[in-house]
């Protein structure tokens, strides 16, 4: 997923920052979802 960080010319552009933010949010969501399954909440 590392290539996502360089879409739109990298972190120097608005698109780059958006790509980083989206990748970070997706990582958190997937992590939280996995923890929920392990904990038996989902």
- Rounded Cα gap, residues 25 and 3, in angstroms: 16
Task: Check the CA dihedral 33-35-41-42 and report its sign.
Answer: positive
Condensed to tens digits (0 to 9), the pLDDT of residues 1-42 reads: 455 545 545 556 777 788 888 999 999 999 988 888 878 765
Question: What pLDDT score was predicted for residue 15?
Answer: 73
Question: What pLDDT score was predicted for residue 17?
Answer: 81
Question: What pLDDT score was predicted for residue 1?
Answer: 46
- Whether pTM exceeds 0.75: no
């Amino acid at each position: 997923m590392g290539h996502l960080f360089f879409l739109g010319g990298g972190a120097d552009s608005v698109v780059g920052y958006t790509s980083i933010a989206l990748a970070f949010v997706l990582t958190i969501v997937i992590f939280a979802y996995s923890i929920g399954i392990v904990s038996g909440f989902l």
